[in-house]
Chains A and B, each alone.
Chain A
Amino acid sequence: GENVEQHPSTLSVQEGDSAVIKCTYSDSASNYFPWYKQELGKRPQLIIDIRSNVGEKKDQRIAVTLNKTAKHFSLHITETQPEDSAVYFCAASIKEGTGNQFYFGTGTSLTVIP
């Protein structure tokens, strides 16, 4: 099956700096890569996603890049703010049977220091 690895497990940045979280996947058939933000005790919420036919996608301060050849994708947060502090999960989705299966990374705990 698919294996998703995520690094780093913890990340601290000064407010206003950029944060980068990286994920790798193993199955070249994976074709959809969402990123989730989870605040303590709350549900994971989708913040950005990218499909395998696109190399980069941006939404205000958040961007995701995908390198299909190397099988890795990254989340970039610019001009970080204290409210960006949370756990971030990457995922890779692959079609299995009649639907899609999602494989998650182990998460990155981001702390933005004011």
Chain B
Amino acid sequence: SAVISQKPSRDICQRGTSLTIQCQVDSQVTMMFWYRQQPGQSLTLIATANQGSEATYESGFVIDKFPISRPNLTFSTLTVSNMSPEDSSIYLCSVVAVEQDAYEQYFGPGTRLTVT
């Protein structure tokens, strides 16, 4: 199974600032994704992180607000830009890996962001 780590695990930020979240996987994976979980809510997909090209965003999410990088097969970053209190959420990295000819999906531990 793929082991995912995220940094930071949590942060408290002031409105108007930006935070970059890192996702590191211990093995090369096929796909990487970023999800958001607002307080008391379920998970919502933000975007697919594509290696070497622009991320693919879901409806309601834009690159200017959530720029994403994926320079290689094991690493990705998500930046939450110009933050407001509404951005307070848990941000989760997720990967799809091929195991025994099947695609398995794993989630990281999440980054808990509080915007004041």
Q: Do A and B come from one complex?
A: no
